């Protein structure tokens, strides 16, 4: 099958036979897609076991760069869309509503970390 035939079939929505074309040419590797996709492809340190901090797990899911407690959430890639996704995730994980206004007002990673810990702290 020629390249133009293959491209015509692809445009028409017909099977193309990619495996035949790319046989023995390497391994498929997923790469980062659009910015609004939340699946991570970046390499980085992963913490597991009892020492794993659930707040760090959330931050790693949405941060595009390394961070410290002084880092501004917006500087590490946690924008308004990421905050909404975090809000939904926390609401589902905790089983109760989480105040969106409180989350919107958090400026830094350290403030976010403290706020998350108040969500799971036992009521006095």
Q: In this predicted model, what pLDDT tens digit does every residue of 87-107 receive, in sequence order?
A: 998 888 888 888 999 999 999
74 domain-assigned: yes
Residues 69 and 113 in one domain: yes
90 domain-assigned: yes
45 domain-assigned: no
The pLDDT assigned to 58 comes to: 87
The pLDDT assigned to 95 comes to: 84
Residue range of the domain that includes 82:
54-120
The pLDDT assigned to 122 comes to: 56
- How many distinct structural domains can be found in the chain? 2
The pLDDT assigned to 117 comes to: 87
Low-confidence ranges of the chain (pLDDT < 50): 47, 50, 124
Residues 24 and 67 in one domain: no
Contacts 24+ apart (CB under 8 A), 68-75: 68/109, 69/108, 69/109, 69/110, 69/113, 70/108, 70/109, 70/110, 71/108, 71/109, 72/107, 72/108, 73/106, 73/107, 73/108, 73/109, 73/112
CATH number at residue 102: 1.10.1200.10
Residues 65 and 111 in one domain: yes
Give the pTM: 0.57
The pLDDT assigned to 104 comes to: 94
The pLDDT assigned to 18 comes to: 77
């Amino acid at each position: 099958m020629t390249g133009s035939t293959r491209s015509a079939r692809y445009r028409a929505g017909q099977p193309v036979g990619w495996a035949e074309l790319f046989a023995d040419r390497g391994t498929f590797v997923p790469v980062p897609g659009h910015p609004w996709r939340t699946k991570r492809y970046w390499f980085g340190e992963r913490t597991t076991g009892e020492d794993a901090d659930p707040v760090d797990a959330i931050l790693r899911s949405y941060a595009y760069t390394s961070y410290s407690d002084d880092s501004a959430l917006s500087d590490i890639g946690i924008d308004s869309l990421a905050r909404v996704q975090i809000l939904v995730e926390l609401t589902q994980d905790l089983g109760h509503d989480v105040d969106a206004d409180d989350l919107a007002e958090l400026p830094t990673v350290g403030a976010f970390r403290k706020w998350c810990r108040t969500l799971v702290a036992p009521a006095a």
